[in-house]
Structure formats: structure tokens, C-alpha cells
């Protein structure tokens, strides 16, 4: 009986190892999460001091659309405060090609394409960078499973997660030596991402965390996961940016192609 029990335990352990997800599989599932073909929303970006005080409040509109199933386009338009009002950003995420970022600044009255080297810069003075607006391709990094049964607490929310280390292939394109990410086992969203210094791999420099996830439906009944409340933190000085999705509409087909043009970036008018 003991031999049978021992053999059964080996079988169970073997089956578990066969069906355990690899780091690449987890990252791929995140990359392939359902994206609504059309989306609109209003976001709040609040700068928060190390003592917890809100020092600046920003509001922006967001419009998204998938083109030809291989290109995800999102535009952002800041509406407040006055100092950055009418700043507009176009993020074009392409499968198998280099992504594009275009920024319109009303002070200069011009649209500028951001080179790769500048995508690590702050977005309008927040702790977010332009690089945070895109999902890196799976092959952009080497992925290693650190813990397939991890737990992580973000503010008051605790997640069961996969803990994965990702090392960039092209180090010149990023501002970090590696990332450590906790992927929620239920949704595969990265509920916490830690970025480490290029020179000192033990030094944590930035982090992004998801405090609140919601399961929502689009207007056509399709299911999506929404990052309702997120935090971006400068781990060196303690400053944070709170990102809150005030309202949203998924699968709304009133998002026209003209939003994703340089003419819209300049004028703010969609045809």
C-alpha cells in the first residue's frame, strides 16, 4: 500500500509539473488579453506626495480602436489643468513592427514623433512614462519564473500570482536592468511591476501596481477586465501618481478613424 501511495504521489507531482505554466506562457496570456475594438473613457491622474497629499489633479479623455486586427491605436487628450490642456498623445501599438508615439504640445503647436530613447520620459510631470502606455512584445524580454505560487498585496487587495523576472533583450531601449512582475492568476494582469536600476540590479527605482480590477462588459456583451485604480511610484523620492478610470465605454462604435491622425492631434476635432 505504501508503494502504491508513493507511486500515486509521484504521478500527481509529475502531472502538476506537466501542466504548470511557464513564464513565457503567462506573459503571452497577458499580451493576448481581449482588447475592445472600440473604447472611450475619462481618466484622473493625481500626483501624490510622500506624505499622502494630492499635489496636482489632471483629467484626460481616452479613445481607442483596433485597426486590421494587428494595430491597437489609443489617443489621450488632457482637459485639465490649464497648463497642459489640449496636450494630446497618440500611441500606435503594432504587431511585428516598431510602435509609434506622437505628442502634440499646445505651447509649441506642433506634433512630434517620440524616438525610442525618449519613451522613458515622464508623461506631463507624472510618475508614468510613455513606455508604460504600451505592452511590450513577449520576445522583447527573456522571462524566468521566480515563484508560481506567490502572493502580493497592493494597498488593501491581495492577489495570488505568478512572480516572473523579465530581462530586456535590447537594454539600450529601456531605463531598467530588469523587471519583476506579479501576474494575477485569475486575470493574468500585472498587478505589480518593479523596475530595477541599470547599473545596480538590487536597486528598485520605479513600480506600477493595480489596486482594483473589475470584470466588465462591453455594449455588445463581450467580457473584459478593467484596471479601475492603479499606482505609479518613484521608489527613490516616494512620489506617486494615482490613475483612476472614472468612466468607460467598450465596443462603442462611434470612435472614428479621424481620432488617430496628426490632424486630430493638432486640432482636437474628429470628423
What are the chain's domains?
Answer: 22-267 (2.50.20.10)
Whether 163 contacts 150, CB under 8 Å? yes
Q: How far apart, in whole angstroms, are the C-alpha atoms of residue 121 and residue 79? A: 21
Q: How far apart, in whole angstroms, are the C-alpha atoms of residue 209 and residue 102? A: 26
Q: How far apart, in whole angstroms, are the C-alpha atoms of residue 36 and residue 80? A: 26
Peptide bond into 74 cis (omega under 30): no
Mean pLDDT rounded to a whole number for the chain: 89
Q: Stretch 106-113: mean pLDDT, rounded?
A: 91
Instruction: Provide the pLDDT for residue 189.
Output: 97
> What confidence category does residue 70 fall into, taking pLDDT thresholds of 50, 70 and 90?
low
Among residues 75, 100, 79, the alpha carbon closest in space to that of 89 is found at: 75
Residue 230 has pLDDT above 50, yes or no: yes
Instruction: Provide the pLDDT for residue 127.
Output: 96
Q: How far apart, in whole angstroms, are the C-alpha atoms of residue 72 and residue 92? A: 6
Whether 196 contacts 177, CB under 8 Å? yes
Among residues 40, 96, 112, the alpha carbon closest in space to that of 262 is found at: 112
Q: How many of the other CB atoms lie within 10 Å of CB of 243?
A: 22
* Share of residues in the chain with pLDDT > 70 (%): 90
- Exposure string over 184-211, b if 16+ CB within 10 A, otherwise e: bbebbbbbbbbbbbeeeeeebbbbbbbb
Instruction: Provide the pLDDT for residue 15.
Output: 40
List the grid coordinates of 270: 474628429
DSSP SS3 for 193: strand
> For residue 154, which phi and psi values (nearest 5 degrees)?
-115, 115
pTM: 0.88
Amino acid at each position: 500500500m505504501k508503494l502504491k501511495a508513493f507511486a500515486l504521489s509521484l504521478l500527481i507531482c509529475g502531472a502538476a509539473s506537466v501542466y504548470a505554466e511557464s513564464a513565457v506562457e503567462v506573459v503571452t496570456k497577458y499580451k493576448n488579453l481581449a482588447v475592445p475594438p472600440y473604447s472611450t473613457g475619462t481618466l484622473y491622474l493625481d500626483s501624490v506626495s510622500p506624505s499622502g497629499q494630492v499635489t496636482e489633479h489632471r483629467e484626460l479623455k481616452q479613445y481607442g480602436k483596433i485597426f486590421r486586427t494587428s494595430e491597437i491605436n489609443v489617443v489621450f487628450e488632457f482637459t485639465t489643468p490649464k497648463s497642459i490642456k489640449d496636450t494630446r498623445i497618440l500611441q500606435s501599438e503594432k504587431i511585428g513592427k516598431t510602435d509609434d508615439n506622437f505628442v502634440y504640445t499646445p505651447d509649441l503647436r506642433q506634433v512630434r514623433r517620440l524616438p525610442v530613447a525618449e519613451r522613458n520620459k515622464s508623461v506631463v510631470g507624472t510618475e508614468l512614462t510613455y513606455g508604460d502606455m504600451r505592452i511590450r512584445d513577449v520576445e522583447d524580454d527573456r522571462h524566468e519564473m521566480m515563484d508560481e505560487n506567490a502572493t502580493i498585496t497592493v494597498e488593501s487587495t491581495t492577489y495570488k500570482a505568478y512572480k516572473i523576472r523579465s530581462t530586456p533583450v535590447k537594454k539600450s531601449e529601456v531605463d531598467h536592468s530588469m523587471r519583476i512582475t506579479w501576474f494575477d492568476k485569475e486575470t493574468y494582469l500585472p498587478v505589480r511591476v518593479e523596475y530595477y536600476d541599470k547599473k545596480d540590479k538590487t536597486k528598485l527605482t520605479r513600480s506600477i501596481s493595480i489596486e482594483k480590477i473589475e470584470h466588465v462588459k462591453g455594449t455588445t456583451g463581450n467580457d473584459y477586465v478593467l484596471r479601475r485604480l492603479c499606482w505609479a511610484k518613484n521608489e527613490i523620492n516616494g512620489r506617486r501618481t494615482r490613475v483612476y478610470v472614472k468612466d468607460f465605454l467598450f465596443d462603442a462604435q462611434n470612435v472614428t478613424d479621424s481620432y488617430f491622425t496628426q490632424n486630430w492631434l493638432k486640432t482636437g476635432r474628429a470628423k
